[in-house]
Every structure is written in C-alpha cells, then in structure tokens.
C-alpha cells in the first residue's frame, strides 16, 4: 500500500525514475479499486450508468501517466513512449518495458531509485 501512496504523492510528476515495485503496486491497487468501484456502481445504480468508475478514472489518469513515464525513465527510455499505447497492441510494448529491470546506476533521468531507497 505504501508504494501506491508514493505514486499518488507524486501526483503529476513526470521526471525522475520509478522502480518496478512502485509501478506494479500502483497498477495492482488501481485494478482492485476499479473492481470495488464497479461493484458499488452495480449495487447503487444500473450497470451502464455508474458514476464511481468514471470519477475514479478521471482522478487517477495523471498519477497513472506519471508513474508510467517514470517507469519508462527507469529503463532509460523517453516518456514519450507512453504514446505507443494509442496504436493497436501498443500496450504490450509498454508492458514489455515495464517488466524490464531498470538501468543500473544513474541515467539521463536521475539516480537509480533502488540505490536511493
């Protein structure tokens, strides 16, 4: 949970680097919270007209983008690679980059987050 909160504290930070643990913990908690929000939408209204999921997605878009960009920086790639998700199957490219080990030592985006923590 602390890694999820770290990503939320860096709400719209697009510089620096994020460890795999921060990225995947954020992704896991976002997925779990979306399930809970979906259940609330289903319980309180008709399934197609929910309000909790759209509100949560609106609130989480900048932190999700920020942690993804920082994860790309950890693998020594530009944050602009996030735009590849706009093409079909581009999400798999981001997935491939996200599972890779970060570059050891400092890179052009900052110090190694493993060494800092």
* Res 1: pLDDT: 67
* Res 5: pLDDT: 75
Judged by average pLDDT, the poorest of 9-13, 14-18, 57-61, 91-95 is 9-13
User: Is pLDDT of 117 > 90?
Assistant: no
Q: Which residues of 54-91 are buried (b: 16+ CB within 10 A; e: fewer)?
A: eebeeebeebbebbbbbbbbbbebebebbeeeeeeeee
Q: Where are the domains of the chain?
A: 2-111
pLDDT per residue over 61-113, tens digit each?
A: 999 999 999 999 999 999 999 999 999 999 999 999 999 999 998 899 989 88
Rg (CA), the chain: 16
* Res 47: pLDDT: 61
- What token pair was written down for 28? 């896991």
CB 24 within 8 A of CB 46: no
CA end-to-end distance (rounded Å), the chain: 16
* Res 68: pLDDT: 95
CB 62 within 8 A of CB 68: no
* Res 77: pLDDT: 94
pLDDT per residue over 17-53, tens digit each?
A: 999 998 999 999 999 999 999 888 888 876 666 888 8
C-alpha to C-alpha distance for 18 and 3, rounded to whole angstroms: 10
């Amino acid at each position: 949970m602390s890694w999820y909160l770290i990503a939320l504290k860096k709400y719209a930070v697009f510089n620096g680097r994020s460890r795999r643990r921060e990225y995947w913990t954020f992704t896991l908690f976002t997925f779990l919270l979306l399930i809970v929000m979906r259940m609330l939408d289903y319980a309180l209204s008709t399934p197609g007209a929910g309000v909790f999921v759209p509100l949560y997605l609106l609130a989480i878009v900048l932190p999700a983008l920020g942690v993804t960009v920082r994860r790309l920086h950890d693998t020594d790639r530009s944050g602009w690679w996030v735009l590849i998700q706009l093409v079909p199957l581009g999400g798999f490219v981001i997935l491939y980059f996200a599972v890779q080990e970060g570059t050891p030592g400092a890179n052009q985006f900052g110090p190694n987050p493993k060494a800092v923590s």
